A and B are shown apart, each in its own frame.
Chain A
Amino acid sequence: MGNNLDAITTIFTEFYYWVTVVFMFLIHVGFCVYEVGASRRRNHMHTLMKNTMLIPLVTVTFFFFGWWIYWAFPNGPFIYKGLGLDFAAGAGNAPWSETMATNLSDRITGVFWAAFLLFSWTAASIVSGAVMERIRSGAFWIHAVLIGSVFWIIDASWGWHYDGWMVKLLGYHDAYASGVIHAIAGGYALGVLVVLGPRIGKFAMDGTPRDIPPHNPWFVTIGLFLIYTGFWGFYAACNVPLISPEGIGGQITGETWTATNIYLAPTSLGAITLNFLMSLSGGLMMAYIVSKGDAFWTYSGGLAGIITASAGNDLYHPIQAMLIGGVGAYCAYKLHFWVEKRFKIDDAVGAVAVHGYAGFIGLVIAGFVLWGAPSSPYEGYVAVNPLGQFLGAIIMFFVLGFLPAFIVSKILHGAGLLRIPPLVELEGLDYEEQHEYELALKEVMEAESASVGK
């Protein structure tokens, strides 16, 4: 920090990301509340712990190798210009780097790492809800590490980095992560679900799906409200808050400092606030109508609305964001039930639809609506276009989401580590805890009763 302006900019940026991290914590609180509400009573403590323990596991692995991947992989391996690995950029973000620790000469790496980490938790948490009540916790935690600290961060390095090959060669544009978080996590959840199979009783003998209602619908809605709240932090965290044209070093002329998206292309918090709220509203309105006022799907539709518009919410007009949000909510709702019935996929919370299909569709729509817009402030990058966005959506949903999840699930299934035994599924994962709870209750009530009148 050479002078006071540098100092203020640095400390403002540090504080900015720190605040986004605190906000984003609410996403995880929301996912936990939501998932516990959606599970049945006999599973809810295991469901809670499954989602909670991904926090430390993804955190430590994101420290060990996730963050290094982001900085080392924008052009590789073996994708663009030979090996394509940037070891120099990776070095400052490796777990043994001095800047990945208490260091007065670098105040940004820690908070920037944390902002990305909270995205990692979200990616893993999206998968968590879909597979609940029959996946083994140990298997889920292996998947959580893979989606949270390997696959999503590879896609971020490729398509959510100012130097990513997808941005340069495809014109990929995904400012608030329709694809890099939501499509990949939805695809990953689908890959696990195909191997994992449905919960006992989900489908009738003739294949007709049955509804398995949440044990606490209020928790589900409060959880989704909390996710909305955390989403604000997520949006802000996707921006660079303040940077000069000189700091960007691209084609922007003049001396006007600006906020930028992750590609260092200009945007503003005002723009994304308008578009966040309008896409949420479009999603809610459409989902209320299409689901005939079903609370679960109305809330989920709000989320699908934001997710669908997110790819282009740095540039859209608010009314475009609203309409795109509505389209996403409609498609997510219809596709969820069609896939459920046609392929017998038991997605317990509709995560594949709300995140995966909505994210995918959002990327494709952005390709048309933003056709020809610059994907980057740097020279030589392909402009945003429909084909690039479609290929990007395929890479996110299938190549980095569905495929690795399917392969790893097959391996875990082969080792007998993927799914809990049917007897345990019927009795519930909390059977032992419940039994101990009832015994303790009986014991203490007997002791209290015995003391009455003494």
Chain B
Amino acid sequence: MSTIGYSSWAVDLAEVGAIYPFQGSEVVMTIVAVVLWLAWHVVEIRGENAQLERLSDKSRVTDDDRRRSIERY
């Protein structure tokens, strides 16, 4: 029993193809990975929205602070 389909390398390599674990679950793995990718964008945009809202609060810093930021170049 082996997750990759081979439990020994006593084989003719000309007849060996895929050797990754859990062959047959490729479509499921793809669906999971695509969902994770899309979720990443959602989480990132939510986090960025919150950060930009925080930074856009005019009362947070004084005009002097802003000038200092600009002078940092």
Chain A interface (Cβ within 8 Å of chain B)? 1-2, 40-42, 57, 60-61, 64, 95-98, 101-106, 136-138, 141-142, 215, 417, 420-421, 423-424, 426-428, 431-432, 434
Contact = CB atoms under 8 A, between A and B. Distances in A.
B19 interface: yes
B9 to A, nearest CB: 11
Contacts of A102: 18-20
A341 B20 CA distance: 57
B52 A105 contact: no
A428 B69 contact: yes
Contact count band on B: 20 to 34
Given A64-B37, A101-B18, 17 more contacts: A2-B14, A57-B40, A60-B37, A61-B37, A98-B18, A102-B19, A102-B20, A105-B16, A105-B18, A136-B48, A138-B45, A417-B45, A420-B52, A421-B52, A421-B56, A424-B56, A427-B55
Given A138-B45, A426-B70, A98 B17 contact: yes
B69 A64 contact: no
- Say whether chain B's binding surface is mostly helix, strand, loop, or mixed: helix
Contacts of B61: 427
Nearest to A415: B45
Contacts, number: 90
Contact of B16 (A61, A104, A136, A138): A104
A434 B68 CA distance: 12
Contacts of A96: 26-27, 29-30
Interface of B: 13-14, 16-20, 23, 26-27, 29-30, 33-34, 37, 40-41, 44-45, 48, 51-52, 55-56, 58, 61, 65-66, 69-70, 72-73
A42 B13 CA distance: 56
A95 B19 contact: no
A142 B69 contact: no
A105 B17 CA distance: 5
Contacts of B72: 40-42, 428, 434
A432 B26 contact: no
Given A1-B14, A64-B30, A137-B48, A423 B56 contact: yes
A432 B72 CA distance: 14
Nearest to A97: B26
